[in-house]
Amino acid sequence: MWDDAFPSFLIGLREGLEAGLIVSILVATLVRAEARSRLPQVWTGVLAAIAVAMSFGAVLTFTAASMPQTAQEAFGGVLSVIAVAFVTAMVFWMRRSARNLSSELKQKVSGALAMGSGMLILTSFLAVGREGLETALFLWTTAQAAGESAGPLTGAAIGLLLAAGLCWGLYRRVLKINLTKFFTATGVVLIVIAAGVLGYGLRDLQEGGVLPGKTAYAVDLAGSIDAGSWYSTLIQGVFNLMPTMTWLQVVAYVAYLAVVMTLFVRGVRVTAPKAKPEREPETATQRSAGASGEGSAAPKPAARRRPVWVVPAAVVAVPAVLAGLFVALGRPKPAGDQTVAVSETDCGKGFTAPEPGRQTFQMHNTGRQASEVYLVDPSTNAVYGEIEGLAPGTTRDLVATIAGGTYAWRCVPASGKAVTSKAVTVTGGGAAKPVAPVSEQDLAAPLKSYKSYVGKGLDTLAGQTRALQHDIEGGHLDRARTDWLTAHRTYASLGAAYGTFEDFDKKIDGRADGLPGGERDKDFSGFLRLEYGLWHGRSAKELTGPARQLSTDVAGLGKAFPSQDFDPGDLPLRAHEILENTLQFELTGDTDEGSGTNLATADANLAGTRELLTVLKPLLTDRAPKVLPTADTDIDRVQKLLDAQHDGGHWTPVEKLSDADRRRLDGATGQLLEDLAPIPDLLEIRKSA
């Protein structure tokens, strides 16, 4: 549960601090100025923001839909920039108030706050609203991933409570300090916070495609700073300084800080005007005369006051009602609205031109064979949606986004020819992004290049294993340990994942797990068998047989590989699977048989992944131009982390990594895997005939 709770705890702490700092300063300002009557306006804004965030969470939960990622980023960026504008206005109001701090402040505070209730409501709403929306979205996604675990909600609650406690401490502190110092100090703090919010908001706008420079990094400390540590979380939460920042973020941060801080400090240094003499207290006679209305018009009838609960109730009710309407009206149409038949002879029966937007089709297999089903553009074969392995007599939903264009159904039975339905045309509705089809012919050139790379690598490996064999036969075990690592890294770089080399992989790099005798089992062979022997004091005589067998198996693989059946459709899978194995085995130390060189193997696996991406580059660039630049950035980050863990031929064993280093390496590899995950779908071979 803690594994699920900890990320949510950090986000709750971070977002709570960012929102709470501004609100606590604002509340303390009003209390010190004896303007407590304005506090309900602040809490109204806070309540409205919480209501909006909870309504947003309800929409996500009950519709299972969310804004596109780019829209989320753009929306958050706009909110950030607006928040900076309001916070800056508040800071300069504080500066003007600081000039006139005297005995007349209590009388003039109403005039100083004449910006109106809307200013206070908006400032507190924006301070809390942006963080609330981010928190709601984060919790929804983590809760979905955690299944029935209560970890995400528990962690977020703890983080928010801790943030509230810290902000309460700040509030209590500022109630005891000199007002002039309070205005000046909090003004400086708020300017620094606002500079970070501005940089963060601009990054969101870059991620949302509104502003350029998304990959133009000025600072990239992700390889040397643990973004998940408590100190990093606090710095990010308070100042919005990230380990990785673009040039636009850095320039905007520095420029805002320089300009606004300079204007603020200059304003504070201006000589404050002399305070006007305080008014003499009213005498009892004067108060009596005022009360009796002597010399004045008859008192006006008291205005009918609005109940104090109306505005708070409204700010809660309005988002809730809007969310309810969205849930009721925004759900996808029931799947039964359009049922489409699938069979070997009649594909697409019942299909009519759908409305633009997100649509759900009920695909019912009326035939006798399992079938793959695609929603395609018949002119280009581009795929908008698909179902694999639709069994006879079964029904499944296919969800697709429909825009202006031509659509048809293609049914590909397990045996027999593909059948394509009559095409329909949809007008309006913007544009959708289909997946361009990939054929075996498209993958032929990348496969040829990759097989050439592997073939050359196997030739090199054969020579290296022969050298290893000779070392052991000659009793040079120290040299054998060095040559073992060289040969094993070569083998790992060839991408031996998920049966690439068929049965040879088990002989050459098989593990002792599952064998009755473990490391002593007669069927335990290959690199890991030699590793165990070389690092557990076995004699050269004991290791000679396994070394000869390894050399023989590598030579046999070199001869067999050119004629081995390598499915072209497996090639895109390797881009993800090699590092999936790395995260599961090498980075856990699971395959370490004593040498402590799992990170060296991980480094070789990374090299193999680079090679795969190189041969797939022409296909990926046309279909998803952002995938490779993102993956390259991730690979460089993992590479830096691995490079930091070896000195010459010595590598840090996985079990001796610090907790921070292990978290950084696992996190960077996990992020790389996430960014590589779309590749198999993008380059999947889809049958068209």
AA identity, residue 406: T
Lowest mean pLDDT across 191-195, 457-461, 620-624: 191-195
DSSP one-letter code for 434: P
Highest mean pLDDT among 122-131, 174-183, 558-567, 667-676: 667-676
DSSP one-letter code for 229: S
Q: How does pLDDT run across 415-440, given as a tens digit for each residue? A: 878 889 999 999 876 667 788 888 88
pLDDT of residue 498: 58
H or E stretch at 476: none
Rounded to whole angstroms, the maximal C-alpha distance in the chain is: 121
Q: How does pLDDT run across 358-379, given as a tens digit for each residue? A: 888 989 998 888 888 999 998 8
DSSP one-letter code for 435: B
Q: Closest by alpha carbon to 461, among 502, 493, 431, 416?
A: 493
Bigger pLDDT: 314 vs 485: 485
H or E stretch at 246: strand 244-246
What proportion of the chain, given as a percentage, has pLDDT over 70?
Answer: 69
Mention every residue, 6+ apart, whose C-beta is less than 8 A from residue 38: 30, 113, 117, 120
DSSP assignment of 179-192 equals HHHHHHHHHHHHHH
pLDDT of 268 over the 70 cut? no
Q: Closest by alpha carbon to 125, among 353, 327, 318?
A: 318
Distance CA 431, CA 442 (A): 26
* Cα torsion through 586, 588, 594, 599, rounded to 10: 40
Do the beta carbons of residue 575 and residue 676 sit within 8 Å?
Answer: yes
pLDDT of residue 523: 87
| Dihedral pair phi/psi, residue 493, rounded to 5° | -70, -10
Distance CA 630, CA 676 (A): 9
pLDDT of residue 101: 41
| Dihedral pair phi/psi, residue 413, rounded to 5° | -70, 160
Please classify residue 479 by burial: count the beta carbons closer than 10 Å to its beta carbon, then call 0-12 exposed, 13-18 middle and 19+ buried: middle
Per-chain mean pLDDT for the chain? 77
pLDDT of 255 over the 80 cut? yes
Q: How does pLDDT run across 492-502, given as a tens digit for each residue? A: 999 865 567 87
DSSP assignment of 560-594 equals HGGGS---GGGHHHHHHHHHHHIIIIITTTTT-SS
The 3-state DSSP class for residue 358 equals: strand
pLDDT of 475 over the 50 cut? yes
pLDDT of residue 137: 56
Do the beta carbons of residue 189 and residue 94 sit within 8 Å?
Answer: no
Distance CA 371, CA 393 (A): 11
Strand locations in 477-541, DSSP E? Answer: none
Lowest mean pLDDT across 55-59, 129-133, 270-274, 682-686: 270-274
pLDDT of residue 87: 63
pLDDT of residue 147: 44
Q: Which two tokens stand for residue 31?
A: 């209390």
Cross-strand pairs, 143? none
DSSP assignment of 447-470 equals HHHHHHHHHHHHHHHHHHHHHHHH
Bigger pLDDT: 97 vs 198: 198
pLDDT of 227 over the 60 cut? no
Lowest mean pLDDT across 260-269, 393-402, 477-486, 613-622: 260-269
pLDDT of residue 15: 63
DSSP one-letter code for 104: T
Bigger pLDDT: 546 vs 54: 546
Cross-strand pairs, 408? 376
SS (H, E, C) 140-169: HHHHHHHCCCCHHHHHHHHHHHHHHHHHHH
What would the mean pLDDT of 229-250 be, rounded to a whole number? Answer: 71
What would the mean pLDDT of 656-677 be, rounded to a whole number? Answer: 90
pLDDT of residue 57: 67
In angstroms, what CA-CA distances link 456 with 219, 552, 605?
39, 17, 17
pLDDT of residue 296: 45
pLDDT of 243 over the 60 cut? yes
pLDDT of residue 238: 56
Mention every residue, 6+ apart, whose C-beta is less than 8 A from residue 128: 19, 23, 45, 46, 49, 50, 53
